[in-house]
Amino acid sequence: GDSVTQMEGPVTLSEEAFLTINCTYTATGYPSLFWYVQYPGEGLQLLLKATKADDKGSNKGFEATYRKETTSFHLEKGSVQVSDSAVYFCALSDGTGNQFYFGTGTSLTVIP
Amino acid sequence: DAGVIQSPRHEVTEMGQEVTLRCKPISGHNSLFWYRQTMMRGLELLIYFNNNVPIDDSGMPEDRFSAKMPNASFSTLKIQPSEPRDSAVYFCASSFTDRPSFRFFGPGTRLTVL
């Protein structure tokens, strides 16, 4: 079945460092891919999305490109801030949108 | 724009007690999802509704769990009797039925069963 695998954390970075959180997927059809962010004590918020191959989602300085050839959707940010400290979830939705799969989450801590 | 509203935000109860979690979806959204989040199992979809009708409850762990959606603006998730292993954060999310991928999550209810 469809699934998402993301790198395990926790990840600790210094402010202004480069961030990559890896995410790969397995899907039989044409999924949409998402990154959600969960700040401490809050619910999940949609960070960015891509609905077809080669699409790039971007928001708040974060980017991820839907790579069908490598079945990946890695999250990147060129310069992280302390306020980016959160848990990041990669997610996949099947072609119908009815099936939605979350990764296990990657905790990011950015230190000043 | 109130977003998805959940109550209570925190609940502490004793084993065997009944627990009721509440959710108000975003106005106009006609799909509603209940999730459970634990360290061991991550995010699990428990049940979802379209237009107040339960569509898939295969994620509901046991008969002790039940969910209702009596109208478009309110849903409950009930656990009776509660057990310590039910301790988790329970999230409600909503979306438009024709855009189920774009789900908006509530802040969650942190349940602790002693």
Please tell me which of the candidates B45, B91, B104 has its beta carbon nearest to residue A100. Answer: B45
Comparing CA positions, the residue from A86, A87, A60, A57 lying closest to residue A74 is A57
The residue whose two tokens read 């210094």 is: A14
Q: How far apart are CA A72 and CA A35, in angstroms?
A: 12
Q: Is A32 on the interface with B (CB under 8 A)?
A: yes
Q: Is A83 on the interface with B (CB under 8 A)?
A: no
Angle at B8 between CA B7 and CA B13, to 5 degrees: 145
Q: Is A9 on the interface with B (CB under 8 A)?
A: no
Interface test with A, best of B43, B105, B110 (most A CBs within 10 A): B43
pLDDT tens for chain A, residues 1 to 112: 788 999 888 999 999 999 999 999 998 888 999 999 999 888 889 999 999 999 999 999 999 999 999 999 999 999 999 999 999 999 998 867 667 888 989 999 999 9
R_g over Cα of chain B: 13
Partners of A37 in the β-ladder: A45, A88
* Cα→Cα distances B102→A12, B32, B93, Å: 29, 12, 10
Q: How far apart are CA B87 and CA B35, in angstroms?
A: 13
pLDDT at B102: 81
Three-state SS string over A4-33 comes to EEECCCCEEEECCCCEEECEEEECCCCCEE
Q: How far apart are CA A80 and CA A110, in angstroms?
A: 7
Tokens of A33: 């891919």
Tokens of A58: 């971007």
Which segments of chain B have a pLDDT < 50?
Answer: none
pLDDT at B71: 95
The residue whose two tokens read 């084993």 is: B15
Q: Do B105 and A45 touch (CB under 8 A)?
A: yes
Q: Do A46 and B103 touch (CB under 8 A)?
A: yes
Task: Tell whether the torsion through CA atoms of A106, A109, B2 and B7 is positive or negative.
Answer: positive
